[in-house]
Amino acid sequence: MSSSTAVQASNLTYEYPARGKAAARRALDGVSFDVRRGEIFALLGPNGGGKTTLFKILSTAFSPTQGNASILGFDIQKQADEVRQRIGVVFQNPSLDKKLTVLENLRYHGQLYGLRGSKLNTRVSEMMERLAVADRARHLVETLSGGLARRVELAKGLLHRPELLILDEPSVGLDPGARHDLWLYLQKLREKEGVTILVTTHLIDEGDRSDRVLVLNQGKIVALDTPAKLKEQIGGDVISIATNEPERLIGGIKTKFGITPTSLNGTLRIEKQAGHAFISQVVEAFPELIEAVNLSKPTLEDVFIARTGHRFWEDK
């Protein structure tokens, strides 16, 4: 494993065993990737795509059915204790004790990592200040808003100075303002302290905020690169056409322009350079078949559609 690599995963596969009437299910299928030190790396995909299973493997909660991974040079299975000392984990579901204060939660967590006395007090105070929750130190966690509680979760995950921070759907339950603040802090954390950040998310804009993004669908990698490079692969503008007769319009466009649109729930999708000019041509050619037309620049969802043939939220 290179010294510039924080995470190295090779052929990770995980299969949930059959239970009762539920058949065995392969949640991850031969996933391989690396995360470079000091980058923000997103695992992006729809619910059920395999993100949380991968999160649990990398945080040493699960062992893969097949394949292996190393974090900061340590094998996640053979050297799990060394891995846990070097990573910070923020779970999707709150892991704070709601009946304890912010201060009590952080002190207890620090003690689990061997911090004691003045070193513990200094570090807890430092993290409360940094996450702007020092004024809530004596407040019970159950009285905090979702955004404040998430900040305390971050403080907890960073208390022992991890080299890698792993977050599972960190924006769940946060309003747009709190989400914005969370990502500003993650970017500052990477820039000022060099912490490598790996985050799972189902939100397209959070993939855009990352240095590189791995797109998962049904346990397999469908794309992996920087957001900009992935969107460049779309090859032009994205044109969406609403119509009540999709098959007829598809045939007409194919015959007249030599282009075969993709049909998604009755909406036709075309990728084309100079899309605005093509819109004029297609509307003039088929005015009776077109109800509405939309032109947009490629997004990561367009990358997902191009690779899977269906929309982000249609994954089953």
Domains defined for the chain, CATH in brackets: 5-230 (3.40.50.300), 235-297 (3.30.70)
Question: What is d(CA 100, CA 156) in angstroms, rounded to the nearest whole number?
Answer: 14
Question: What is d(CA 10, CA 285) in angstroms, rounded to the nearest whole number?
Answer: 51
Question: What is d(CA 227, CA 246) in angstroms, rounded to the nearest whole number?
Answer: 31
Name which of 172, 109, 165 is nearest 146 in CA terms.
172
Question: Edge-to-edge strands of the sheet including 66-71?
Answer: 25-36, 5-16, 66-71, 74-75
Beta bridge partners of 199: 42, 167
Are 9 and 67 a contacting pair, CB within 8 Å?
yes
Q: What is the pLDDT of residue 313?
A: 67
Which helix (H) or strand (E) segment is 308 a member of?
Answer: helix 300-308
With a cut of 70, which residues of the chain have pLDDT below it? 1-2, 313-316
Are 15 and 24 a contacting pair, CB within 8 Å?
yes
Report DSSP letters for 148-215, one per residue. HHHHHHHHHHHTT--SEEEEESTTTT--HHHHHHHHHHHHHHHHHH--EEEEEES-HHHHHTSSEEEE
Q: What is the pLDDT of residue 180?
A: 87
What's the whole-model pTM score? Answer: 0.85
What are residue 272's phi and psi, to 5 degrees?
A: -160, 140
Q: What is the pLDDT of residue 2?
A: 64
What are residue 299's phi and psi, to 5 degrees?
A: -120, 175
CA 31 to chain centre: 15
Q: What is the pLDDT of residue 132?
A: 87
Other residues' Cβ atoms within 10 Å of the Cβ of residue 251? 12
